[in-house]
């Protein structure tokens, strides 16, 4: 009996010690993660100027359907997602496959050069892109020299070309980041699989589609979800490159949902309740698109 009581005491003591180590992390998570989420959900039911709120229930959600700026920001965000994410991930996968070739020389240099943009200062590369894509910038000068265009393109002022510039900037910055994931996955594939396929007469293209892509499916799924989250939260590039498109003929031509949230909170008359509602639109679309990507990838663990 004494031995059983002693064992229970030791177990309780070990549990207390264990929870004492975990408690700090749990408290920090509750204060800085769980509480803000719950508070923002409550805040989304409020509306008012500054800190003067009134309860509006679903009023903020109804306002979304009447808000032209919100619709424009949502449309722009979806354009970035639909075009930029597939282009970026496809480029990253193709480049990773090319750089995984054992016969390729200077692989370390090419890998570093392609990965380098994602660690470059955001402000520095935004200034570089604004300079390159200005009316008298390097891009227009090159296109004019090659007789591809007859007149300079207003890359940062035209509604269509401003979106193209943002997509190019994001793709340039993050392709190398995703390439690293694919490259790591490719190096874990047994070379004997490719050798067997080559003996059976499979071309490099068939090996890419029937071996590389299926073997990298978990990594492709991961990068797709992470890129979806990043693109739907796009803010920095749009603000630094085009300012949301205020100077284009179509007002707010490049504004994203994240920039609209910022404007609602700090630029316009502050309405934190409505800003919280718009932020949950991003959460909603991230959840829906992530579930779709899981289903398409054939992963039922959602």
Tens of pLDDT, residues 61-117 = 999 999 999 999 999 999 999 999 999 999 999 999 999 888 888 888 999 999 999
Q: Which residue has the higher pLDDT, 190 or 251?
A: 190
| Average pLDDT of every residue of the chain | 87
Strand, coil or helix: 94: helix
Confidence of residue 219 (pLDDT cuts 50, 70, 90): very high
Among the listed residues 231, 230, 239, the one whose alpha carbon sits nearest the alpha carbon of residue 129: 239
pLDDT band at 246 (very low <50, low <70, confident <90, very high): low
Residues 6+ positions from 63 with CB-CB distance below 8 Å? 274, 277
**pLDDT greater than 80 at residue 136:** yes
| pLDDT at residue 195, rounded to an integer | 87
Mean pLDDT of 258-274: 89
pLDDT for res 5: 58
For residues 199 and 183, give the distance between their C-alpha atoms in angstroms, rounded to a whole number: 24
Residue 6: per-residue pLDDT = 58
Q: Give the residue, 161 or 300, on which the prediction is more confident.
A: 161
Confidence grade of residue 121 (pLDDT, cut at 50, 70, 90): confident
Q: Which residue has the higher pLDDT, 9 or 278?
A: 278
pLDDT exceeds 60 at position 247: no
The residue ranking higher by pLDDT, 298 or 151, is: 151
Distance between CA atoms of residues 30 and 63, nearest Å:
31
Tokens found for residue 157: 């002022």
Which is nearest to 99 in space by CA: 181, 169, 171? 181
pTM: 0.85
**Mean pLDDT score, 243-253:** 66
pLDDT of amino acid 22: 83
């Amino acid at each position: 009996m004494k031995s059983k009581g002693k064992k229970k005491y030791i177990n309780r003591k070990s549990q207390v010690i264990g929870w004492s180590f975990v408690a700090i992390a749990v408290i920090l998570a509750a204060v800085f993660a769980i509480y803000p989420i719950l508070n923002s959900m409550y805040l989304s039911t409020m509306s008012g100027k500054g800190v003067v709120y009134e309860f509006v229930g679903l009023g903020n959600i109804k306002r979304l359907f009447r808000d032209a700026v919100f619709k424009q920001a949502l449309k722009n965000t979806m354009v970035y997602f639909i075009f930029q994410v597939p282009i970026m991930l496809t480029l990253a996968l193709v480049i990773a496959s090319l750089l995984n070739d054992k016969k390729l020389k200077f692989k370390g240099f090419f890998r570093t050069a392609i990965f380098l943009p994602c660690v470059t200062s955001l402000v520095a590369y935004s200034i570089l892109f604004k300079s390159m894509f200005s009316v008298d910038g390097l891009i227009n000068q090159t296109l004019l020299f090659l007789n591809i265009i007859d007149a300079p393109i207003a890359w940062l002022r035209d509604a269509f070309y401003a979106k193209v510039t943002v997509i190019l900037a994001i793709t340039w910055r993050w392709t190398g980041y995703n390439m690293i994931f694919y490259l790591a996955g490719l190096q874990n594939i047994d070379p004997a699989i490719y050798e067997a396929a080559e003996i059976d007469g499979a071309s490099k293209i068939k090996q890419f589609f029937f071996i590389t892509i299926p073997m990298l499916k978990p990594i492709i799924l991961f990068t797709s979800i992470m890129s979806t989250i990043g693109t739907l939260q796009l803010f920095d590039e749009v603000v630094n490159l085009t300012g949301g498109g205020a100077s284009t003929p179509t007002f707010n031509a490049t504004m994203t949902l994240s920039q609209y949230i910022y404007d609602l909170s700090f630029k316009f008359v502050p309405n934190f309740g409505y800003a919280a509602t718009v932020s949950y639109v991003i959460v909603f679309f991230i959840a829906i698109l992530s579930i779709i990507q899981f289903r398409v990838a054939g992963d039922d663990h959602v």
